[in-house]
Homo-oligomer: A and B are copies of this chain.
Amino acid sequence: MADQISDVSVSLCSSSKYVTPFRLNYKQDGVEKTWDYIKGHDSIAILLYNKDRDVFPVVKQFRPAVYAAKIKAFTDGQKVDTDKHKGEEGMTLELCAGLMDKDKDVTEMAQAEVLEETGYKVPLENLKKITSFRNEVGVNGALMTLFYAEVTDQMKISSGGGLLDEGEQIEFLELSGKDVMRHMMDENIAKPVAMMFAFTWFFFMKDKEEVHT
């Protein structure tokens, strides 16, 4: 799948429920300072491993923020020539992931996200928390919690691909360990570093330490 992206334009965003800029006014050791940040959203990501076929279910999708960063889409009113900048430039390889809803149980949310995006119905007890961290500490200090889950072919009950009625359009694919290691250091494949950490954890740390349940 190479998503067909067309009719791209940029506008300044005066109000947004996803990206609200705030300023922290404070004193540090008595010196007045300010820092601009956004209200981000805590999130979850799930590293999946299908032990029946020794593959890793991951997702590929068009990410407007990555596309915009690559092509420098930062001018109000800018029109983008999509013959020159195809949607492929905004495609990322990622773990199954989603934003956190404070009112829900985090493990249940992880379960729902895996089902939506990959079609695997993982039992709750298979979802193990690895750790949590900040993706980005400069302008968005939100927390990401990383899970690990083993799945089997029997758990695959639907095709996955995200919630189309929520505008999600996600390609589900399964990578071999060899593919993972090859893609990991390939700078031509845009990807979040959280996924890179998750795979190094799987290959090098998983069997050396206790996984929190």
Q: Which residues of A contact B (CB under 8 A)?
A: 3-13, 16, 18-33, 35-43, 62-70, 73-74, 76, 87, 90, 92, 94, 99, 130-144, 167, 169, 184-185, 187, 190-194, 196-197, 200-201, 203-205, 209
Contact = CB atoms under 8 A, between A and B. Distances in A.
Given A192-B137, A196-B133, A197-B193, A69 B142 contact: yes
Nearest to A42: B69
Contact of A13 (B33, B36, B197): B36
A125 B60 CA distance: 36
A93 to B, nearest CB: 10
B21 A37 contact: no
A76 to B, nearest CB: 8
Contacts of A32: 7
Contacts of A190: 133-134, 137, 141
Given A21-B21, A37-B68, A40-B69, A169 B28 contact: yes
Given A13-B21, A169-B28, A136 B136 contact: yes
Contacts of A42: 69
A8 B142 CA distance: 19
